[in-house]
Structure 1
């Protein structure tokens, strides 16, 4: 809440050298980090940086750095124990990263406020009109007033560290081979001609039209209408809606849909907007979903496998690519305390071991486990789940508990306390309606809320482990010739000097272990890490 009666903070204007000297003299070199507010919103406008002490009796320090080198702040930050507090840490850290300053520690007030408001399932309130010290104080008080104060504190630290990591990515971009991008598009979609950029789509369009007897439709949205004319019922326009049909239009239509997505989402227009100077420039937003996962603009989290080979480093460097194997099922086993599932996970390939236990192949075991997690209700899914329910009853009991809580509108939380938001108004109304009075639509809404609640703690806790790993990894790589090149949920892509690959591989394994311990506790469970290296994201080295 904005305190309109609070006295204005005194302001002290310093030269840039004076501000640096002041910080050197008044910040610790050891022990607990000192919280200091940081505002760089004036950096682009009038070349000013504001440092805000948490003690409101102390003046706000303002320095003009128009003719100064802001990287001196980075050097000072490296030698002092400072936690930089910002209303929007991502924006602040990105601005500084583009000026060559990588902050070591930060605290995002907006993230803290969002977590607390989410914990109480309330709308986020306003910050205190620009006084970051008061916003920080209120955030700390609000966190301490919850019954999950310690874990939420850890979650704020993780989200804040991820804001710094995202700022690095947003400032650095991702190495990109534009010539290879053109080669891939030309191979799949044809070389551009005067009549169009993607001749292969035109060829497929003609084949599809011929298969439908010359009738033309919008192949993105009108697939049901096209098949209706053939006497076939199709629910929607997704490939999964029609790929099972024995019709001559299916093969070209399937190819057209896949290539159309590639052309529209990652074609020449996309490249003109999001790639230049040998870099790809997506914009990442950490903890931007209800489960705490990242989102991105510019395709940062959805680059298709066919284009991953375009993420390519220069000679003398390697990409180290690591992903945590079968993370969500392992998290589920841990949360349920299911000794059977945990024992299978400890043996290596969880899906293969579960298949051996249930007498099915690996693919079916994976299907069964994901059906359990997502609450699939088809007859086929229920039949497949029976042996799993018998073997892993603790897991099924926990999932049923999550689902029932969500169906009744109760809180559902991750391991660190991130809370599933309230559903939309119609779903809340459906939940509050007596079950015998619900309409068919309301029953569907309640069931959907239950399925979401069933998987939310697992997905959210998995995101917490990955984000904690990323936070640790950023610290480990700080003084090494290695940097984060991409982050995709449970996959980490690092741009590493060729002679540092072995060292960084060891650091990755250590970071995963420490990240799991940060979220789940020491020796919670082992998380196998699959690591490969290469000159690009899509190619394995032998």
Structure 2
């Protein structure tokens, strides 16, 4: 995490814009933006400004005070500031903190307020859509000035028309005051998860890095991913054919692509619709390939021996580019500045991974040569190595397994400990985290359980929690729901059921099967849920580490003139001037050491990166 501070939680007051004596760096200041106005509220800060003046206000307070900006969400409170090019420092994103503490995706101001007040989440008011063709409903009543309704819930339009009413400027201040209360409530909830002050501080740092990741998402949307347009056009043409002049021409080009497959079709099957799975299955059967479905992994074993299958799989890759990443995609999402842009999210609503739209997270490998640094710049690509087993060492607290992480290749010392070859040791470790117990994986897993019982015990408890529908918490405290909602924070079955230092939670349904579910189906569903839980507690924790690393790199790039332009699972892509490339390579490694130590609360586990300096993304190995 890139920052540390002391925290002031006194009631807002003082002269507008004034600086109280002894006000610490990192004290909370709320930013609420609605309509044409914005309000900043905190200790010694109480300013209502026109929305267009918000970037200047933030710049001034960043320079003089270094506050931690409290926002209902980074998107609602900081987008204007980020779009203006202002470097936002510390942040507490109420929505991201809510997702961390309570799991799931829904994190509107209403959900945040309900959770902080202990209200029923299902009763959170929803905004009512206006009926098309009507300015108002026949039964509309005059505007209710109350921010909170009779049941204690925050009104659905709190950040919209209600707060943005220019005739009622005090509404923004009232909403800002509620945001401060929510921040304090969330801070207390974070502390309640911890069994000791060190764990409480560690979990709070996770909130900071999750919030910083939300700001990074806004910067990624603003800056975009650099694209070599000419190369992109050439690659699309190789896969999809030339740009069609009209619909008739498009049909001709599609038919030419289809013909490359259908020339291998048995007699009578030349008119097969390759976009119809049932017809494709019949085509394959006529060619002697009897398969239960036409998924790629099912067909792959036939690729080398059946020309039809080879042609079909190639066609599918080209068809994906033609239909999803073709000329329309290029025209719609790559701007005149040759940057690919899409919406980003700091959390997927499940284990907490960052996600993006418009191909930023699932660009076909064949198009990666089009991702290229601008003239005078390079891409520093850094990928976390063997991150999940290293995270397992942290989460489990297994000292023997942690010792293996000191090696560049973790699997080598594990293999030596098991008395087997590296390949089998790797299979065993991955099988442990993904719940595979059959074949060679199952045999190797037994040895792993005997040599590393603490790490394997953590995974077994996660599996049992998944089967019983008990929610899990990651190392950073993120709630992963596996059925019914858990009890209030701080209540649960006992610390030995969760990651060290974090109190457990449990559900109220006792893991009962759904009505009408037979025994075999129930067992299969339970096992699948157990496997998911076994992996989610590791993947979710790894996502926290990645965001802590990304946030630390982001905060350190100013002196080298670099920008993060892509976050993909465990991989960072940084765009920097050529002259600062070596410095940036050292920077990302140093930031990983710092972020990992702060996130883990220890330096006993070593994390590594595979880092390279390239002109094009496709030039990076791995």
Q: Which TM-score tier does this pair reach, normalised by the shorter chain?
A: 0.7 to 0.9
Determine if the alignment matches structure 1 residue 37 to structure 2 residue 81.
no
The 5-angstrom pairing of residues 177-196 of structure 1 reads 177-192=228-243, 195-196=249-250
Determine if the alignment matches structure 1 residue 203 to structure 2 residue 259.
yes
Specify the alignment match of 1:138 in structure 2: 182
Deviations 1:4-53 (A, max 9, x none): xxxxxxxx9xxxxxxxx953x337897332222212333xxx3x332233
Specify the alignment match of 1:244 in structure 2: 301
TM-score (normalizing by structure 2): 0.74
- Counterpart among 36, 58, 63 of residue 49 in structure 2: 63
Distance 1:212 1:250 in 2: 17
- Counterpart among 427, 433, 452 of residue 367 in structure 1: 427
Determine if the alignment matches structure 1 residue 459 to structure 2 residue 539.
yes
The 5-angstrom pairing of residues 330-479 of structure 1 reads 330-355=390-415, 362-423=422-483, 431-433=511-513, 438-479=518-559
Residues 108-117 or 292-301, more deviating: 108-117
Question: Is 1:333–1:341's contact at 8 Å kept on the other side of the alignment?
Answer: yes
Specify the alignment match of 1:216 in structure 2: 272
**RMSD value over aligned CA atoms?**
3.4
Residues 459-468 or 389-398, more deviating: 389-398
Question: Is 1:327–1:527's contact at 8 Å kept on the other side of the alignment?
Answer: yes
Unpaired runs of 5+ residues, structure 1, are: 1-11, 13-20
Distance 1:375 1:436 in 2: 27
Q: CA 1:351–1:280 in 2, change beyond 3 Å: closer, same or farther?
A: same
Question: Is 2:380–2:613's contact at 8 Å kept on the other side of the alignment?
Answer: yes
Determine if the alignment matches structure 1 residue 163 to structure 2 residue 214.
yes
Deviations 1:173-231 (A, max 9, x none): 12111111011122344434563356763333423545884351444633444434556
Q: CA 1:485–1:28 in 2, change beyond 3 Å: closer, same or farther?
A: farther
Secondary structure of the residue that 1:398 maps to in structure 2? helix
TM-score (normalizing by structure 1): 0.84
Question: Is 1:189–1:200's contact at 8 Å kept on the other side of the alignment?
Answer: no
Distance 1:217 1:289 in 2: 37
Unpaired runs of 5+ residues, structure 2, are: 1-12, 105-114, 125-152, 160-174, 195-199, 486-506
Deviation at 1:167, TM superposition (A): 0.9
Distance 1:376 1:368 in 2: 9
Question: Is 2:27–2:67's contact at 8 Å kept on the other side of the alignment?
Answer: yes
Deviation at 1:123, TM superposition (A): 4.3
Distance 1:335 1:519 in 2: 11
Question: Is 2:284–2:290's contact at 8 Å kept on the other side of the alignment?
Answer: yes
Deviation at 1:114, TM superposition (A): 3.0
Specify the alignment match of 2:489 in structure 1: none
Moved over 6 A (4+): 27-30, 119-122, 427-430, 434-437
Determine if the alignment matches structure 1 residue 148 to structure 2 residue 148.
no
Distance 1:387 1:207 in 2: 52
Equivalent residues, number: 512
Deviation at 1:394, TM superposition (A): 3.3
Specify the alignment match of 2:132 in structure 1: none
Question: Is 2:425–2:444's contact at 8 Å kept on the other side of the alignment?
Answer: no
Secondary structure of the residue that 2:618 maps to in structure 1? coil
Q: CA 1:528–1:117 in 2, change beyond 3 Å: closer, same or farther?
A: closer
Distance 2:285 2:440 in 1: 27
Secondary structure of the residue that 2:478 maps to in structure 1? coil
Determine if the alignment matches structure 1 residue 256 to structure 2 residue 312.
no
Q: CA 1:252–1:359 in 2, change beyond 3 Å: closer, same or farther?
A: farther
The 5-angstrom pairing of residues 36-115 of structure 1 reads 36-42=29-35, 46=36, 48-53=37-42, 61-64=47-50, 70-71=55-56, 73-115=58-100
Specify the alignment match of 2:363 in structure 1: 303
Deviation at 1:275, TM superposition (A): 0.6
Distance 1:118 1:143 in 2: 16
Q: CA 1:437–1:342 in 2, change beyond 3 Å: closer, same or farther?
A: same
